Structure 1
Amino acid sequence: MIEYLSIPTSAGVFDAIGAGPHDGRPVLLLHGFPEAAVEWEHQVARLGDEGYRAVAPDQRGYSPGVRPADVADYEMDHLVDDVVALAGALEWSRFDLVGHDWGGAVAWWAADRHPDRLRTLTAVSTPHPRALGDALAGDEDQAMRSQYMRDWRSSDTEKRMLADGGEPLRRMFEWKVPRGRVDDYLARLSEPGALTAALNWYRAGSPKAAIEAVTVPTLYVWSTEDVAFGSTAALATEQWVSGPYEFQMLEDITHWVPEEAPEQLTALLLDHLHRH
């Protein structure tokens, strides 16, 4: 059964969903843009049924209680610190970390900086940042796919995305996410300041320090119809994991893996957790 949680930290109060026994093996799941914790509803519920303690927060800017105004407050250092703060508030000394899209990027950085805190890493869609950086520099296809990251830093992005009743935001989901869920995301991002906060993740710029190879057991799930991340970075991610590594390719699935292919992803995740 899904629970609705409020998790206080030094940065503010995060809204979250959770499931499973409080003494179960802890799993933290991080959502992407332009979504929220509920993108993980299926996985959280299944993990809870399997005896895990699964929690998915609305991340910085998405939780009204953690919505700072400055762009600098959305730099990667702060996003990774939020992961550690959430785990601390939940009294988790060690946990499994799962991330999709922007949540996947945060998960990679958290695994690099806090390997002692993670039991496993699961990244969905988002390749290792160094693999992505190399692809951006040397692969024309990936450079074209990632142009939106630069475009969305402009000051008129909010107006463009919310035009025509938010139709541009709706089209991002490629009709692969249930309409009711998309309505929920649009309502959340239409709240004053919410979309600006979410876009500030893009505007904050690149992390100042370099990320290295990840040492924790890692599952990377990539889908062949992902519009944002091409095969060059996906296949190169293996080079940036020095610990046990598994790569799973989902055929004919778009970027929205947790909601488009919930059963497939959950099965892969559970298998990964069971083996480590």
Structure 2
Amino acid sequence: MASDTKAEPRWLDVPTPDVHLRALSWGPDDAPIALCLHGFPDTAHGWRKVAPKLVDAGWRVVAPFMRGYAPSSTSTDGSYHVGALMDDALRVLEAAGPTGRDVLVGHDWGAIAGSGLAAMPDSPFRKAVIMSVPPAGAFRPLGQVPDAGRLAAQLPRQLLRSWYIMFFQLPFLPERSASWVVPRLWRQWSPSYAADEDVALVLDAIGAPDNWRAALGYYRATIRGSKPPPRYADLHDHWLSPLRLPTLYLHGSDDGCASADYTRWVEPSLPAGSRAEIVDGGGHFMQLDRPDDVARRIVDFIGAGTSAS
């Protein structure tokens, strides 16, 4: 299916009881959906280089701004739990019009929510693509993880890379840090990418105090182990579970957020029909710094939308 790769995306509005979500949509309304979930610190615009290539392969790309990221709203009940992110994704799919042939693509926090959706026994998706953040289920139960000594050796360096997570748990200081944390993380995580445009897009989405607190809320809800509201509790239970859907796991070789070495533990944990691949030269935001390579790998795994079965 041919498409104008320069076409501007359309807007999709998805009201829910807790948030009002806005999503970008590329491609024809009758094509199967590739639901693309972004992470931190990023926006739905982060899919702009990959989306036209998926549309050319017969897919409709729908990319919501995650809760708290303008123009989506903040949460009325203050929930930034993984179960809430999963619920948002399902509501966006429902609003877009599920086809029974739809797939999920998740990066960073979108990968965490995507792993939960790929672990559901009744997931509405056919396949999943998980990028840059390993599924938590690959490391559970911890006592049975193969080559545990080698995994433990990764931890000191990972703790240094993850300094921001602990920083976000502090009172007061993190709330004033958006202007320097966002550009610093982009420089560290995708060192070969000129990120000025994307940093500006991110600050437009979460630079305001309420939105920045929402972005911090993802990390605070997870690290502090708070319980999600009852409406999200059942979904939330899945995000630590083994994946059930055939899954493509992608990790950039130059990712400054998390080492590509984790792929060795992810691959054996994936279900039948899955694979794990390292994108050579890719940083954390490889959908932007290696869009052609990433899009090719995704299409090779999910197939052509027009002939999906």
Q: Does 1:33 align with 2:40?
A: yes
Mapped partners of 1:3, 1:157: distance in 2 = 33
User: Which residue of structure 2 lines up, in the alignment, with residue 146 of structure 1?
Assistant: 162
Question: TM (normalized to structure 2)?
Answer: 0.80
Give deviations 1:164-214, integer Å, cap 9, x for gaps.
Answer: xx2332121115144222222123222241111111111112587363221
SS of structure 1 residue aligned to 2:11: strand
Measured in 1, the distance between the counterparts of 2:68 and 2:121 equals 23
Q: Provide Cα deviations, 1:223-271, integer angstroms capped at 9, x if missing partner.
A: 1221222244321012321231111112232211111111110111111
Q: CA deviation at 1:93?
A: 4.9
SS of 1:130 mapped into structure 2 = helix
1:200 match = 217
1:59 partner SS: coil
Return 83-92 or 123-132, whichever deviates more.
123-132
Equivalent position to 1:242, from 249, 271, 277: 271
d(CA) in 1 for partners of 2:261, 2:277: 15
The amino acid across from 1:57 in the alignment is P
SS in 1 for 2:23: strand
Name 2:257's counterpart in structure 1: 228
Question: In the TM superposition, what is the alpha-carbon distance from 1:158 to its structure 2 partner?
Answer: 2.5
**Any conservation in 2 of the 1:5–1:18 contact (CA below 8 Å)?**
yes
From 124, 129, 132, give the equivalent of 2:136: 129
Distance 2:261 2:166 in 1: 20
Q: Secondary structure at the match of 2:103?
A: strand
How far has the Cα of 1:113 moved from its partner? 1.9
Provide the C-alpha distance between the structure 2 equivalents of 1:151 and 1:137, rounded to a whole number of angstroms. 24
What's the counterpart of residue 191 of structure 1? 208
Letter in 2 for 1:66: S
- One-letter identity of the residue aligned with 1:170: P
Q: Does 1:9 align with 2:22?
A: no
Say yes or no: does 1:158 pair with 2:186.
no
Runs ≥4 in structure 1, deviation > 6 angstroms? Answer: none
Question: 1:19–1:55: 8 Å Cα contact kept in structure 2?
Answer: yes
- The equivalences for 1:207-226 within 5 A come to 209=237, 211-226=240-255
Give distance in 2, aligned partners of 1:145 and 1:171: 12
RMSD of the alignment, in Å?
2.4
Alignment-mate amino acid for residue 170 of structure 2: S
**Contact residue 137 and residue 143 of structure 1 kept, 8 A:** no
Moved more, 189-198 or 99-108: 189-198
Q: 1 CA distance for matches of 2:253 and 2:83?
A: 30
User: Retained in 2: the 8 A contact 1:69–1:197?
Assistant: no
Identity within the alignment, %: 24
Deviation at residue 66 of structure 1 after TM alignment:
2.9
Q: 1:251 to 1:215 in 2, by over 3 A?
A: same
Structure 1 gap segments, 5+ residues each = none
Structure 1 window deviating more from structure 2 (136-145 vs 233-242): it is: 136-145
Q: Distance in 1 between matches of 2:163 and 2:138?
A: 17
Counterpart selection for 1:169 from 158, 161, 182:
182
Contact 1:217 1:244 in 2 (8 A): yes
Question: Higher relative CO (CA 8 A, sep ≥ 6), structure 1 or 2?
Answer: 2
Aligned to 1:91: 97
Check conservation: 1:225, 1:253, Cα contact below 8 A: yes
2:31 matched residue in structure 1:
24
Structure 2: gaps of 5 or more residues: 1-6, 143-147, 228-235
**Equivalences, count:** 271
TM-score w.r.t. the length of structure 1 is 0.88
Residue 81 of structure 1 corresponds to 87
